[in-house]
Structure 1
Amino acid sequence: MSRRVLVLAHTGREDSLKAAWEACALLHASGIVPVMQESELADMERFFGHLAQPVEVLHDHVQLPDVELVMVLGGDGTILRAAELVREVDVPLLGVNLGHVGFLAESERADLAQTVEWIASREYTVEERMTIDVQVWVRGQKIWHTWALNEAAIEKANRERMLEVVTEVDERPLTSFGCDGIVLATPTGSTAYGFSAGGPVVWPEVEALVIVPISAHALFAKPLVVSPRSRLAVEVLGRTDAQGVLWCDGRRSVDLPPGARVEVTKSATPVRLARTHQTPFSARLVRKFELPIHGWRGPVPKADAIHTGPIPIVRTPRPMPPLQVPQSDQPGDDNDPTTAK
């Protein structure tokens, strides 16, 4: 049975088109059938002409569950678009960064040929990233239901009006304040909008939800890290007529009138990301953000590798008993001849 890999690219950019063309050629040379969406394949053929290698069309020649892997060529936005496509069928994503930071991407454009070799030899692992379930309620009616891999971001709709909100954790109110917005993020999203708003960086394997206020006018409006089993909610207060807007992963949005309620919980359906490098997350942070690490000495030697001699035992000397003077040696003794009359 033939192996198939879906190639997704931002075909509005020339560098993405060239990377997609090269990826299809490399996959075909490795014995893997490249698959593309019809619109993206048409864009590539308009740019390059008829392709020498055969490419199957998604939903025409092949269905999504028959694809082994999705190779995403672009930045984090392209990967988020791909996640919308494959989340319900458990097909893993492998990102090749063509953008700036590309935190979700696994490899860079220069490593494209090596990445295809890893795919061909199945030298990759798959990890699951937590997603969130997002619901919007207005006057007791659910008006919107979606999900997010990175975050659900509540923002003020008008630049000149501050948004008044009250936060809630586990069905108990926490605090209210005026703000420019508030981010409800996953660990994956902690390095995206949440990080830009001053939130903490959370390691991907940590199961948690993050609340990050944006420019809050309040004393207690700090970023919070809560249990993934918690139910988070943010209500847009009616103190003013300021409107809000909810964005999920920066791709899907809905308006929030005064009185709207946004509820966020951990979703039961994760997104699967393919990994070709077994590098620690700290190393990814250093590489993606170009963090300075000059002067680092590394871990100290392990205790069991250090050989030392026996530890000397210091004994405390026993105290000497007080000197006892014999009775016969006492002055004025009647038996002492020197004192006899």
Structure 2
Amino acid sequence: MVNIGIYVNPTKPHAREVASELVSLLQQYGCAPVLEKRSAEFLAREDLALPLEQFYPQVNLVFVLGGDGTLLSVARALAPYPIPILGINLGHLGFLSEAEPHNLAESVQQILARKYIVEERMMLETQLFRQGQLVRSFHALNDVGIAKGSFSRMVTNKVLVNGTFLGKYSGDGVLISSPTGSTAYSLSAGGPIISPNVEVLLFTPIAPHTLTARPIVLAPNDVVEIEVLSDHEDLGLTVDGQLGVQLQQRDRILVRKSPYTTLLIKWRENTFFEVVREKLQGQMRELEDGNGK
């Protein structure tokens, strides 16, 4: 019997109806649905509840119902475990999701027929050192940012790569992204789009106060070190734009490739540029006439 985990973002429109339909479909096809504990409470199905951290090894794969933010949080929680994730888009963009609520039955059928591939996405590991002591560590699928808060005060960070001084960056902050994260915050800050099957680190200055500061693509085994030079308190470390820690002057942040990866379920290979065209550029699938017009 296939055990399929379900994680639901209850704040999304129609989350209850879609999740209930998914549970019924899985049971009809002879699967054993397992609901993350809070999702089970939301659906009043405590009989199917299991904490997310206990999904492995009982769960074969996980359906995540929500937007990209929901999938990011689940990816971090499941990072140490080899559990593939299928995103079902209940959000706005759904760049990381592969399925939509209107084709839920078809999605279940494809999963059970094993008509899918699993993409292995590189993650980031970051460590925060304060007065020489490690105080926090995180894993991220998209990005790690060191940036100012709501007040309009410039921040300055000293950046090194593999111990070699790269420069001092003044502006709104700096961002280190994975290839998956290149289509998130980094993109709006002027960074390039990187295909997710390429393993690199992307360093992007955020609103730099100089014309010469540009994004830099780094090798996957490089280690980026950021030292906080600003002395005001309106500065923080963010992880995937969801977790945050207030920073202090002389804090050091190390960012490198994580030993973990995120396993994303996709229906077929080479869909990345279709997603870029349709979702980021806001274009519908075009009729093929040989010229792409």
Would you say same fold, with TM above 0.5?
yes
Q: Which residue of the partner structure matches residue 253 of structure 1? A: 244
Q: In 1, are the aligned partners of 2:9 and 2:65 still within 8 Å (CA)?
A: yes
Q: In 2, are the aligned partners of 1:243 and 1:258 still within 8 Å (CA)?
A: no
> Which residue of 140, 163, 166 corresponds with 1:171?
163
Q: Which runs of 5+ in 2 are unaligned?
A: none
Indicate the percent of aligned positions where both proteins have the same amino acid: 34
5 Å matches for 1:236-315?
236-238=228-230, 240-241=231-232, 243-289=234-280, 290-291=282-283, 298=290
Q: Give the CA deviation at 1:251.
A: 2.1
SS at match of 2:125: strand
In 2, the alpha carbon distance for the partners of 1:163 and 1:154 equals 9
**Higher strand residue share:** 2
**Match status 1:10 vs 2:2:** no
In 1, the alpha carbon distance for the partners of 2:234 and 2:220 equals 29
The number of equivalent residue pairs is 290
TM-score for both structures, normalised by structure 2: 0.92
In 2, the alpha carbon distance for the partners of 1:271 and 1:148 equals 10
Structure number with the bigger relative contact order (C-alpha 8 A, sep ≥ 6) is 2
5 Å matches for 1:114-263?
114-238=106-230, 240-241=231-232, 243-263=234-254
**Match status 1:81 vs 2:80:** no
Distance change in 2, residues 1:18/1:236 (3 Å): same
In 2, the alpha carbon distance for the partners of 1:292 and 1:97 equals 17
The runs of at least 4 aligned residues of structure 1 exceeding 6 Å deviation read: 292-296
SS at match of 1:267: strand
Q: Give the CA deviation at 1:291.
A: 3.8
Q: Which residue of the partner structure matches residue 23 of structure 1? A: 22
Which amino acid letter does the alignment assign opposite residue 179 of structure 1? G
In 1, the alpha carbon distance for the partners of 2:113 and 2:288 equals 36
In 1, the alpha carbon distance for the partners of 2:262 and 2:184 equals 16
In 2, the alpha carbon distance for the partners of 1:7 and 1:167 equals 41
In 1, the alpha carbon distance for the partners of 2:95 and 2:72 equals 11
Provide the alpha-carbon RMSD of the alignment.
Answer: 2.3
Q: Give the CA deviation at 1:126.
A: 1.2
What per-residue deviation string (whole Å, max 9, x for no partner) do you get for residues 76-95 of structure 1?
11101211332212111000
Q: Which runs of 5+ in 1 are unaligned?
A: 46-50, 301-341
Higher radius of gyration, 1 or 2: 1
Q: Give the CA deviation at 1:59.
A: 4.7
TM-score for both structures, normalised by structure 1: 0.79
